[in-house]
Chains A and B, each alone.
Chain A
Amino acid sequence: MTAPATDPQVLNRIYELAARIRLCDERVIKMLTGGEMAIIYYPVTGQEVLAAASGAVLRADDYVVTTYRGMHDQVAKGMPFGPLFAEYMGRVSGACKGKGGPMHITYPELGIMVTSGIVGGGLPIANGLGWAAQLLGQDRVTVVNFGDGAANIGAFHEALNLAALWDLPVVFLCQNNRYAEHTSYARSQRNEQVAPRAEGYGMAGVTVDGNDAAAIYSVLAEAVAKARRGEGPTLVEAMTYRFNGHYFGDPQEYMPTEEKKAAKAADPVKALRRKLIDEGHANEEDLAALEARIRAELDEAVAAAKAAPMPDLAELYTDVYAEELAS
């Protein structure tokens, strides 16, 4: 049974996860800006709270599928910083032994099953995870994360139809950040929202403010509980905003300045932090201490990643198949 969104413990937990994501994101961007690390990074800045709410709802044995813009989803599901940064830097101690990279973070130990670099590619796979749980009599739920852009690829249609038809325990979490790569939502589809499409599949669909911790938590808690009870999938459209363009370094000329300013003024992580203090659920000292602990954790993870060796060249040829094929 999930606690209600009004429970201060829930909001504190969401903030803790959101802070982990925000500080991790900041650290990556700082390292990229300072030339400390050179990777292709798809920033999650602005989308932390909805992912943190998902992390607060899910159990360790639930499954998550996400996309190349997925650090927030991974960290929310418990992804430790050590193997995350090591993977970013292509080290053998990385989550994927340095063979996947930032777009393919995988950590099945905590249910982080697939991070796909193909827009919409994870949706059909999430159904399979749900199907397996259903057939094996497990009550684990799969949350598949994707952007508004993915709602326009064929895999979305096929996956939602099948999930509804088979009553799969899958929550389709559309993170509507208003941009599909470099093209605005409005220039990508005619409908104002994605969630109403659920009706076309005989599935529940709901649009919610993904930047409002209590609101998104309530919606996700209900969708996950429903899936866990065997009552089928839900399409959740969490409204949010992508602060930093498609990839780090994107000049963002297609994103209106006023729009960005307004979004940043309503920064969901800062808003949640303020709410916790204003409503007396936390105090400044405690939150500062929490943030300091997270920063120290990041320092340690980055240092460990830097010190770790690159994969042995023999790794090039392993993990293609269970056994290396002669020809």
Chain B
Amino acid sequence: MLFHDTQFILFFVAVFLIYWAIHHLRTPRVLFLLAASYLFYMGWNAKYALLIGFQTISDYYIAYWLHRLENQRARKALVAASVIINLSILSLFKYFGFFAETVQEIGRWFGWEVIPARLNVLLPVGISFYTFQCLSYTFDVYYRKIQPARNLAEFALAIAFFPQLVAGPIVRGAQFLPQLESTPRFNLEQFRSGLQLFFIGLIKKVVIADTLAEMIVDPAFKSPALASGPHLLLAIYAYAFQIFCDFAAYSDMAMGTARMLGYELPLNFNLPYRAQDLREFWRRWHISLSTFLRDYLYIPLGGNRGNLFKTCRNLMITMLLGGLWHGAAWTFVLWGFYHGLLLVLQHLWDAWRGTQPAAPDPDENDQAWCSSWGALLRVGITFHLVCLGWLFFRAQSFADISLILSRILSWAPGTAEVFIRERGLWFMLLAALMHFMPRHWVRSASGWIARRSPEFQGAMAALLIGLMGIFATSNHPFIYFQF
């Protein structure tokens, strides 16, 4: 079930009506949402729901004992058990094939014929997300940042809550569990804003991301040898907007869906291409993952508390693992390495200049990115550096990366088979406009819609769905489902 499927809409309408009918009863409410979430997941694969169930139960009881025990060694052993269980499952399903192929490849270099064992299993959708959620809960209980969940059902709901189950954001226990404490009240304003957010996500996904994929990105990356240099260059820029619109769309829809049910999920994207440097980019891009990596990997490794070398090492390890989290392929590791390298260089530059790295607050000034020519230049440079990273992220192999780069640099002509469809350019422009327009425009548009009558809003929703049907190319799954 995809968020932009009719099936999901009908599923959600049913869940919404039943949920608000029983919302005042705590246990039935939680159990109902839990059942709906598992049903949602089982729509993809029923067997893998057992996997989530297993990870949930194991982490619930580990956290339960972590909270009760005082013995530090025993507590450390329990955390280690949680890490081993969760990462073993993740490695088995996501990385086993990758490790096996790597071993085979290394063997081939030495002239050995290694035939590794193969696991013919599907990658469970959302495994990276819910595994990290389980881990963050255990860590938070270990560090005594939060109280453990009141019961298994509530914890299971926090992990499997269907809006964020398959593609994030990575919601921490501290962000979700307290929301279960109070009885939600239906709030019309909240509902309207949730619905609006859902529609914004739908437009980003169906109209922009899928069209960019179909018109510009996929043809170029599928046959880079046939695409022209300019097309490949444009495809990288288009991919930057495609992946943003695709992933941000999922987050918007997840937030909108949850908001309509009375829950708030954390913001996952904050207009990342307005960032003036790489550090700010990672404060705006996939915020739930970057904060997870910062809090549970970078800081425990020592963060920036040690000398310059240790800080750079920690940065690099964090980004390499962040890259690997995205996918089981060396291209993702390269992408992580590239970002790690850029962050290290930025850190070294700051150290050389003797400036303390400021922590830019993305919300501080909406128009900071275009407040001066210098700021605009920094935004431009950061955007291009990020785009180069997207090439490593999107390309199928190292050979493709070098082919694409060489074709772009030589401005190679393409064949008639692969060409840019002009409509894609208009949608790229639309994506850029949506990204860089002032926030208050969005706020006033949304306020204007909210002030209209329900009939007007209903008709607008119908028209939007109709328009999406026209512009929809084909039913692409969300990119981040593969992670």
Question: Do the two shown chains form a genuine complex with each other?
Answer: no
